[in-house]
Amino acid sequence: MNNEIISNDSEYWALFESSEYNKNVKPNSQGPLKVNVSHFVIDIYGLSDVDMDYTIDLYLRQWWTDSRLQFNGTVKTINLGPDYIKKIWIPDTFIANSRHHNSAGSHPNTILSITSDGHIYYSTRLIIVANCPMDLSYFTMDRQLCRLRFESYSYNSKQIQYNWIGSGLASRISLYNFRIERDYKVAHIENISLSDPFSILIYGFVLKRSLGFYLNQVYIPAFLIVVISWMPFWLDREDTHARVGLGVTTVLTMTTLIT
């Protein structure tokens, strides 16, 4: 298959400048457009018990068909530059539980390719800060479920239907106080307002808190401090300075551990 990167070729500008093509109108206007989605998680970090959020770095990939962009010629697939990407219709997929997100790097990390039969592949790299409500009732021995919720901002399920076709998780991901037990993905239709239902994709992962981290950082130091706090009972009761100094040191050390 021949591939070519298009940047300033007038032959292909005509595809997007044609009066028959309107980037504001979705393909397949007579029914729901099927959008296949996959993603690959590069890294997860910044998980906060206080703010109840985390940062995730991922590739988001989408496939759909736009028959209006079919073309003829020896080239079977074209990879579009940024100027062309702005000229075609793209699903307005967003992450509903994102607090904020941006493209990685100083320039948008995106690629879009079109095959001669109108199949489109769109990939972008995103860094997302998403909320993750936590139940800390069993703190140090707890499990937390964090999710990403993908949906269309303006198209309901009668206009766009999302489908998972795969996902990936980098094996080198390491969180200093959690480990990832498993991840999962779900696709379903959900009523999120009084209007028509929306097609929703959910990606989630279960985190188990690393007890070893807290054993080394909290439990063992606290145990040793308690043992030390008993030492004044073996000191001469007339040795006030040593007893007070040991007591103050114990309290200050515990305060440091707590904070």
CATH number, domain with residue 37: 2.70.170.10
How many structural domains are present in the chain? 2
Q: What is the pLDDT of residue 85?
A: 82
| Cα 124 off chain centre by | 12
Question: In sequence order, what are the beta bridge partners of 77?
Answer: 3, 115
Q: Is 213's pLDDT higher than 80? A: no
* pLDDT for 128 beyond 60: yes
Residue 201 pLDDT class (50, 70, 90 cuts): very high
How far apart (Å, rounded) are the C-alpha atoms in residues 22 and 7? 20
Predicted TM-score (pTM) of the model is 0.79
Whether residue 254 is found in the same domain as residue 134: no
Residue 226 sits in the same domain as residue 159: no
Highest mean pLDDT of the ranges 45-54, 193-202, 227-236, 246-255: 45-54
Q: Compute the mean pLDDT over every residue in the chain, rounded to the nearest whole number.
A: 84
What was the pLDDT predicted at 202?
Answer: 95
**pLDDT given for residue 1 in this prediction:** 40
> Do both 158 and 103 map to the same domain?
yes
Scan for tokens 């021995």, then name that residue: 141
pLDDT of residue 17: 67
Q: Are residues 128 and 224 in the same domain?
A: no
Asked whether residue 71 falls in the same domain as residue 137, the answer is yes
State the residue range of the domain holding 242. Answer: 214-258
Do residues 137 and 158 lie in contact, with contact meaning Cβ atoms separated by under 8 Å?
no
Do 204 and 220 fall within a single domain?
no
pLDDT tens track for 3-36: 544 444 555 666 666 657 888 889 987 889 999 9
The three-class DSSP label of residue 153 is: coil
Neighbour count for residue 46 (Cβ, 10 Å): 12
Same structural domain, 203 and 220: no
Contacts of 166 (CB under 8 A, 6+ apart): 38
Phi, psi at 69, each rounded to 5°: -105, 20
Residue of 85 and 159 predicted with greater confidence: 159
Based on the fold, state whether residues 236 and 112 are members of the same structural domain: no
